Amino acid sequence: MTSNKPRIRMNLSSEPVRNRRLFFAASGGLAAGILFAAAAGGWLLARVHGRVRSVRSELVRLERLETDARAEIRTYDQENEKFVKVSKADVDRVNEVIERKAFSWVDFLTLMEEALPGPSYILSLSPLSTEKAFMEIKFKVASTDVDELKRFIQELEKLRFRPIRVLSQARGDGGELVSDIVVGYERRK
């Protein structure tokens, strides 16, 4: 009697695997996939490592730039502090004159303009000392020659600027005579 029931075989090692091609194809595909993933991972690692290296070198360059910028800022701050210390006295003196209002800059500048010969001009002007109605003022004047400077000093004397002292004279870049002069100016009533 033969039955149509399938038989269960307990000893599988006695017969070779029937679908060897499928097994080899699946294991070969898996191995190829692993090799491809490893190669892609290695390529990606090399690419990322190259970018990391370039980012690190850029960071080093930026750190150097930051260090240089901080040093430059410190230098400028130190120069600024020195300038503030040096110019504070001059600024305080000018502010004192402006606040006191006893000194008329309009009158002074009008008289200076009257005394200046035609081609002469004032390069700089700074107050030296102040009292209630008297001030010593230092200025640089540029004139074409010594005769023109003498005329200017004579005009200052006529306008009662006293004392008048010529501190120094030198030729400027354009050939003009540049003179440092200190005058005393007393406000007229």
Mean pLDDT of 110-114: 86
Q: What 3-state DSSP class applies to 175?
A: coil
Cα distance between residue 175 and residue 55, in whole Å:
58
Cα distance between residue 175 and residue 137, in whole Å:
25
Q: What 3-state DSSP class applies to 166?
A: strand
The whole-number pLDDT of residue 112 equals: 85
pTM for the structure as a whole? 0.47
- Alpha carbon distances (Å) from 116 to 33, 138, 162: 97, 15, 16
Alpha helices (runs of H) in the chain, residue ranges in sequence order:
20-100, 105-115, 146-158
The whole-number pLDDT of residue 82 equals: 87
**Domain 102-186 falls under CATH 3.40.50.300:** no
> Which sequence spans correspond to the domains of the chain?
19-100, 102-186
pLDDT digits (tens, 9 = 90+) for 17-64: 556 677 778 889 999 999 999 999 999 999 999 999 999 999 999 999
Cα distance between residue 16 and residue 22, in whole Å:
13
101: left (phi over 0), alpha (psi -120 to 50) or beta: left
The whole-number pLDDT of residue 75 equals: 94
CA dihedral (64, 66, 71, 74) in degrees, to 10, reads -170
Angle, alpha carbons 164-167-173 (nearest 5°): 120
Radius of gyration of the chain (CA): 47
Q: Is the predicted pLDDT of residue 69 greater than 80, yes or no?
A: yes
